[in-house]
């Protein structure tokens, strides 16, 4: 059974940080070169597996093992793409780690047998780098880059591949370490409880559980930040000369906007799943969003749907974190869940106004939470306990409170 330890890492000096950034930049450049070569061969109906002519140039930055790790990651992405095509599903070839809106994915992968973590009062992790970078930063032949670790491991077991990401918005390096654990180490064994989620544009997630808990994650503050950055991008674009379509400042704002949203979504998925795990949730139902992304009458809702929400990305993150905790995710039809009364089942005579749903049976509840409750009741065979007072979470640019 796999779980993931998440912790912060910090370079000990400016030189160490420059060295780490060098490894991260080389990783992104190598990924992009691999991806470009494979895409060109794919579109020319040639084999994509013959693109090793330039791999040697990155050995000096990443080392032989680092080159092999990035190559294996890239091959896995292409194998997943081909598997989707064979099943007749729509799919796009693997993309680059750099584009106008989002900037690069600043990350580095370290094979499970190539790094060492020492936990204690002064925890640290040591990772290998290529010889060219060692020479540039006056490191010994057998020396490795040492980073401080902030945080404690939640899980212990056989270590998997380490991933270090740089968050430009928070100016923070975060590490993710999968470990294989024995089921006896689970501090909160999964029961058979279930939960349902309603994903929205004003409230990002409304959750109801069979244990009677309800959670609401408010997205308004996040959206206001997103819109303010978008307006600033528009203002700067209006000042560009006719022959210029972007600038360094505009690209930086695009990256900041995207990174801020992604950071909040990742934190939301982890905060929610940890709460569900503590409740003994084994299955999570989410609505099948087919048709939900259709154009809406409200321009603001369309902006949230098409630019801010990034719902597919969030669902992928949610599935990933649920997988860490052994929680199953199932998509179910959510037709009529926004209009149906979870108490009496009435659909045609309910009245929805903004964030409330009222029914002639006496129900007067929060529309998103009642939708999640209805989705849960329609798909579970369990008894749903009486609902506790809902807990509303807001984003403070660091965590959900």
3-class secondary structure per residue, 320-352: HHHHHCCCEEEEECCCCCCCCCCCCCCCCCCEE
Confidence (pLDDT) at 307: 67
For the domain spanning 193-393, the CATH number is: 3.30.420
In our burial notation (b when 16+ CB lie closer than 10 A, e otherwise), range 294-331 reads eeeeeeeeebbbeebbbbeebbebbbebbebbebebee
- 56 sits in the region (left: phi over 0; alpha: psi -120 to 50; else beta) called alpha
Residues 20, 15: Cα–Cα separation, whole Å:
9
Mean pLDDT, the chain, as a whole number?
Answer: 84
Residue 251's contacts (CB-CB under 8 Å, 6 or more residues apart) are 100, 103
Q: Is the pLDDT of residue 311 over 90?
A: no
Q: Is the pLDDT of residue 125 over 60?
A: yes
Residues 95, 374: Cα–Cα separation, whole Å:
38
Give the residue, 141 or 294, on which the prediction is more confident.
141
Residues 213, 221: Cα–Cα separation, whole Å:
24
Confidence (pLDDT) at 335: 74
Which span out of 79-88, 168-177, 265-274, 354-363 was modeled with the highest average pLDDT? Answer: 265-274
Q: Is the pLDDT of residue 127 over 80?
A: yes
Confidence (pLDDT) at 106: 81
Q: How far is CA 12 from the centre of its chain?
A: 28
The residues that bridge with 37 in the sheet, in sequence order, are: none
| Beta-sheet strands, E only, within 214-349 | 214-218, 281-287, 328-332
Tens digit of each residue's pLDDT (9 = 90 or more) over 228-272:
998 999 999 999 998 998 898 998 888 888 888 888 888 899 999
Confidence (pLDDT) at 135: 94
Which span out of 1-5, 312-316, 334-338 was modeled with the highest average pLDDT? Answer: 312-316
Quick one: which H or E segment has residue 197? strand 193-199
Tokens of 70: 């990035």
**φ, ψ of residue 152 in degrees (nearest 5):** -120, 150
Tens digit of each residue's pLDDT (9 = 90 or more) over 38-91:
999 899 888 888 766 666 789 999 999 999 999 998 998 898 888 878 877 667
DSSP designation for 266? H
Question: What are the extents of the domains in the chain?
Answer: 2-185, 193-393
Residues 337, 347: Cα–Cα separation, whole Å:
8
């Amino acid at each position: 059974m796999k779980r993931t330890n998440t912790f912060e890492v910090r370079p000990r000096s400016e030189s160490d940080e420059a060295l780490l950034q060098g490894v991260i930049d080389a990783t992104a450049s190598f990924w992009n070169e691999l991806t470009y070569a494979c895409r060109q061969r794919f579109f020319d109906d040639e084999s994509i597996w013959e693109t090793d002519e330039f791999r040697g140039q990155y050995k000096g930055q990443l080392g032989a093992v680092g080159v092999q790790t990035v190559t294996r990651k890239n091959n896995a992405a292409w194998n997943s793409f081909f598997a989707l095509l064979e099943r007749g599903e729509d799919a796009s070839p693997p993309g680059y780690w750099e584009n106008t809106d989002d900037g690069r994915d600043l990350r580095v992968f370290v094979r499970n047998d190539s790094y060492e973590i020492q936990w204690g009062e002064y925890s640290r992790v040591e990772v290998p780098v290529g010889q060219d970078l060692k020479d540039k930063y006056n490191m010994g032949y057998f020396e490795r880059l040492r980073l401080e670790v902030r945080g404690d491991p939640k899980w212990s077991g056989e270590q998997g591949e380490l991933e270090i990401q740089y968050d430009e918005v928070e100016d923070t390096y975060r590490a993710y370490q999968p470990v294989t654990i024995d089921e006896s180490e689970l501090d909160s064994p999964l029961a058979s409880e279930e939960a349902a989620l309603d994903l929205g544009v004003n409230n990002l997630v409304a959750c109801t559980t069979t244990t009677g808990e309800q959670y609401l994650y408010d997205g308004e503050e996040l959206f206001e930040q997103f819109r303010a950055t978008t307006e600033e991008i528009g203002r700067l674009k209006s000042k560009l000369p006719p022959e210029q379509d972007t600038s360094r400042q505009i690209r930086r704002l695009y990256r900041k906007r995207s990174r801020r949203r992604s950071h909040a979504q990742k934190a939301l998925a982890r905060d929610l799943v940890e709460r569900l795990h503590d409740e003994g949730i084994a299955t999570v139902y989410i609505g099948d969003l087919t048709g939900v992304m259709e154009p809406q009458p409200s321009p603001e809702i369309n902006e949230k749907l098409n630019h801010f929400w990034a719902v597919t990305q969030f669902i992928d993150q949610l599935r990933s974190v649920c997988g860490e905790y052994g929680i199953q995710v199932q998509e179910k039809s959510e037709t009529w869940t926004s209009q149906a009364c979870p108490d009496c089942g009435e659909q045609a005579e309910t009245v929805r106004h903004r964030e409330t749903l009222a029914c002639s049976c006496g129900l007067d509840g929060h529309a998103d939470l009642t939708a999640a409750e209805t989705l849960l009741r329609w798909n579970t065979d369990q008894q749903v306990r009486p609902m506790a007072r809902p807990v509303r979470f807001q984003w403070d640019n660091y965590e959900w409170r």
